[in-house]
Amino acid sequence: MKILWHSNVPWSQSGYGGQTAIWTRELRKLGHDVAISANWGLGGAGIEWEGMRVYPSDDAWGNRTLRAFARRHGEGDERQCQVISLMDVWTLDHRMLAGMRLASWCPVDHDPIPPMTTAYFELCRARPIAMSRFGEERMRRVGLDPLYVPHAVDTTVFRPHDDERADVREALGVPEGAFVVGMVAANKGSAVPRKSFPQVFQAFAGFHKRHPEAILYLHCEKLGHYDGINMEALAIACYAAASGAYVIMGINSPVEGSTVVTDILSEGWERTVGGKIEFVVEPEEMVRRILEHIDKKRAALGLPAWEADRFGRSGDARMLEIEALEPEARAEAIYGVPAI
């Protein structure tokens, strides 16, 4: 069978690219004549990859070129070519694809399925392929008849080895007996995170209440390149806040879509440990909140409200006394133990 695979290029580091690499190789091993139509990752002219032709992408998810590539791979007859797309189908234009031999393997990450997804299958008559049992069930709810094909895993890389499991968990800092929930995602978008980190955190918070032995393991680029979230900075901020500090991060909140997570980071932690995290981008507002927080803590300690012309005559007097001490005595006054 002649098959035209339509998705990310197989050498890309995306999830779709990884699936393209695995499935096209396997389909070729089964004896099929496979070519790849790139919806992302290759511009200009086509190239050969592991004996398969890779056609370049256009600037419209392949809508303008897919039929032509199917006709070319089908040696002049597009109906002789089975097209398999692996992507979100709402990006595809049914008007440009109608009549093709098309199967669309797509995620279902909404409940219910968005009308645009349902309309695509109804109008272009593509065969739906679900990549999860959840997706299969939701497709059937709207009258579709999907195949179920889970994502492929390269078992030469990802394989269970009981003799290595304990070492790997120890290296990752996973406690013995912990139930690990894993999330693999591209860390893109901070103001509106593309991979729904807030919603994942919110869902895991509810799961963790019922299963406190569970931990969430995020596998992603940690520093927030490509307009993502700086996970490392956020982790440090969480550690400081959970230790009782008030932390302001000068970015838009990456979890503003989740009221539960937002409450945990702010009021929730402040109630339990005294610290909290807030996301503020305006410098003036940062200063206002910091001073407000200092005044609140002074009041809680029974200190008078701070006034610029009373420096040294309120709670600041003790700090002046400590600053005047010798280094050894100053360390003992602050930390309770003599300096070493």
Give the confidence band of 310 by pLDDT, cuts at 50, 70, 90: low
Look at the pTM and tell me if it is higher than 0.85: no
Reported as type and span, the H/E element at residue 334 is: helix 327-335
Which band of pLDDT confidence, cut at 50, 70 and 90, is reported for residue 282? Answer: very high
Pick the most confident of 86-95, 223-232, 301-310. Answer: 86-95
Q: Where does the pLDDT of residue 189 fall: very low under 50, low under 70, confident under 90, or very high at 90 and above?
A: low
Mean pLDDT to the nearest integer, 197-202: 77
Higher-confidence residue of 185 and 43: namely 43
CB 57 within 8 A of CB 40: yes
pLDDT in tens, 125-154: 999 999 999 999 999 999 999 999 999 888
Backbone angles phi, psi at 266, to 5 degrees: -110, -90
Q: How confident is the model at residue 315 (pLDDT cuts 50, 70, 90)?
A: low
Average pLDDT rounded to a whole number, residues 225-244:
81
8 A C-beta contact, residue 137 and residue 111:
no
Q: Is the peptide bond before 112 cis (omega within 30 degrees of 0)?
A: yes
In CATH, the number for domain 2-148 is 3.40.50.11930
Cα–Cα distance, 53 to 38 (Å, whole number): 10
Question: Does position 312 have pLDDT exceeding 60, yes or no?
Answer: no
Phi first, then psi, for residue 303 (nearest 5°) are: -85, 150
Confidence category of residue 316, pLDDT binned at 50, 70, 90:
low
Residues 6+ apart with CB under 8 A from 224: 187, 190, 230, 231, 233
Residues 6 or more apart from 162 whose CB is under 8 A from it?
A: none
Is 303 buried (19+), middle (13-18) or exposed (0-12) by CB count in 10 A? middle
CA distance 286 to 269: 19
E strand or H helix at 182, and its extent? strand 179-184
CB 128 within 8 A of CB 144: yes
DSSP letter (8 states) at residue 144 = -
Confidence band for 257, pLDDT divided at 50, 70 and 90: low
Strands (DSSP E) along the chain, which ranges?
A: 2-8, 33-40, 47-49, 52-55, 81-86, 102-106, 127-130, 147-148, 179-184, 214-219, 246-249, 276-279
Structure-model confidence comparison of residues 232 and 23, the more confident one: 23
Decide the pairing of beta strands 2-8 and 81-86: parallel
Q: Which amino acid is at 17?
A: G
Lowest mean pLDDT among 4-13, 54-63, 294-303: 294-303
Mean pLDDT score, 218-235: 78
- Note the pLDDT of residue 283: 92
The count of other CB atoms within 10 Å of the CB of residue 198 is 20
What is the β-pairing status of strands 47-49 and 52-55?
antiparallel
Q: At what angle do helices 316-323 and 327-335 cross, to 10 degrees?
A: 140
pLDDT digits (tens, 9 = 90+) for 77-98: 999 999 999 999 999 999 999 8
- Residues carrying CATH 3.40.50.11930, the chain: 2-148
Percent of the chain scored above 90 by pLDDT?
46
End-to-end CA distance of the chain: 78
Q: Which residue in 183, 273, 268 sits closest to 229, CA to CA?
A: 183
